[in-house]
């Protein structure tokens, strides 16, 4: 992880919000609570020169996050 933004502190001139953004090179994960259900939502983003590479990066990132949050 090369950067973390905690929007609970009010970042980039945006209003305070329960959102965390984790960045690492060409990857990003946005974490926020659901507004209607008792769960956490994670949005994953990847940037790569080819779609197959970005898909592979997203698959790996999803597996790593799932291992952290599932017992």
CA 44 → CA 13, 15, 35, distances in Å? 23, 22, 18
User: What is the pTM assigned to this prediction?
Assistant: 0.81
What residues form DSSP beta bridges with 30? 21, 43
Task: From first to last of the 71 residues of the chain, give the pLDDT tens digit.
Answer: 899 999 998 888 888 999 999 998 889 999 999 889 998 899 999 999 999 999 999 998 899 888 887 76
In the sheet with 20-24, reading across from the earlier edge strand, the strands are 3-6, 20-24, 27-33, 40-46
Q: 3-state DSSP: the chain helix, strand, coil percent, rounded to 5?
A: 30, 30, 35
Tally the residues of the chain.
71
Residue 71 confidence (pLDDT)? 61
């Amino acid at each position: 992880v090369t950067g973390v933004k905690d929007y609970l502190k009010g970042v980039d001139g945006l209003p305070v919000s329960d959102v965390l953004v984790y960045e690492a090179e060409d990857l990003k994960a946005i974490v926020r609570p659901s507004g209607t259900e008792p769960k956490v939502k994670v949005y994953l983003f990847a940037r790569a020169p080819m779609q197959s590479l970005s898909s592979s990066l997203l698959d790996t990132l999803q597996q790593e996050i799932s291992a952290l949050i599932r017992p």
